[in-house]
Amino acid sequence: MTLQGLDPREVWNERMVNRLLEIFDYQEVKKVIEKHYKVLTPYFADCKSLLDVGCGFQPRLYNIPETFGIDVSRDMLTRGRQFHAHFPFIHGSAYKLPFKGKMFDGSQSLGAMRHMEHWQPVIAELKRVTKRKLAFSLLICNEKHQCGKYQWCNSMDEVTSEFKNEVYSVPLRDLGDFENMLFLVEV
């Protein structure tokens, strides 16, 4: 699978680590992350295990005893280990998670799926390894902000209609020109 024709392991390199450190300092991004915590802390409260897919160097943690993070980029994981020395970071791809079925009470993928070319196989993998609760965020293109990176980003109806019966979506409108949508799916 490619990211704009490039191998994601090459895109998510040390330069990108430094760029993300800058982005995480933006007030808008801080607000979105705060909102995620506000919604996801109670959502995952009854989970004893959690997988964070595309965790980067900054896994989102909720005091869940068995929490694991997985990411395709070794540079992200190297930096992550510097910040969280004891956190179990795993190297692997969201398209083929190296776990047996239903291994985690909950799973999440935040700020990561919009960087993936295909969303269906990733959601299928997340559902496969998850017993009960899944959360993922997507950036939604609108008239002002057309990221145009992948076809599906420009036709979000496809994604929202797939989940219309089971989703609890939270629009997070603090990212300036574009919208971030959080999907909570009971598996």
Ligand X SMILES: C[S@@+](CC[C@H](N)C(=O)[O-])C[C@H]1O[C@@H](n2cnc3c(N)ncnc32)[C@H](O)[C@@H]1O
Residue 71 vs 179, nearer CB to ligand X: 71
Phi-psi category of residue 166: left, alpha or beta, with phi > 0 → left and psi -120 to 50 → alpha:
alpha
With contacts defined by CB under 6 A, how many residues of the chain interact with ligand X?
19
Where does this chain touch ligand X (CB under 6 A) — which range of 42-50, 53-61, 127-135, 145-153?
Answer: 53-61
Centroid of chain to Cα 74: 17
Q: Is 76 in the site for ligand X (CB under 6 A)?
A: yes
Residue 51 vs 185, nearer CB to ligand X: 51
Site for ligand X in 1-40 (CB under 6 A): 8, 12, 20
Instruction: Specify whether the CB–CB gap between 139 and 116 falls below 8 A.
Output: no
The CB-nearest residue to ligand X is 56
Which residue from 32, 51, 93, 119 is in contact with ligand X, where contact means CB under 6 A? 93
> How many CB atoms within 10 Å of residue 100?
8
Instruction: Specify whether the CB–CB gap between 54 and 74 falls below 8 A.
Output: no
Residue 95 vs 163, nearer CB to ligand X: 95
Instruction: Specify whether the CB–CB gap between 142 and 179 falls below 8 A.
Output: yes
Residue 120 vs 164, nearer CB to ligand X: 120
DSSP string covering 57-83, please?
T-----S-SEEEEEES-HHHHHHHHHH
Contact string 100-119 vs ligand X (x = CB under 6 A): ----------xxx--xx---
Instruction: Specify whether the CB–CB gap between 88 and 33 falls below 8 A.
Output: no
Q: How far is the CB of 179 from ligand X (least distance, A)?
A: 16
Tell me which residues touch ligand X (CB under 6 A): 8, 12, 20, 54-56, 58, 71-73, 76, 93-95, 110-112, 115-116
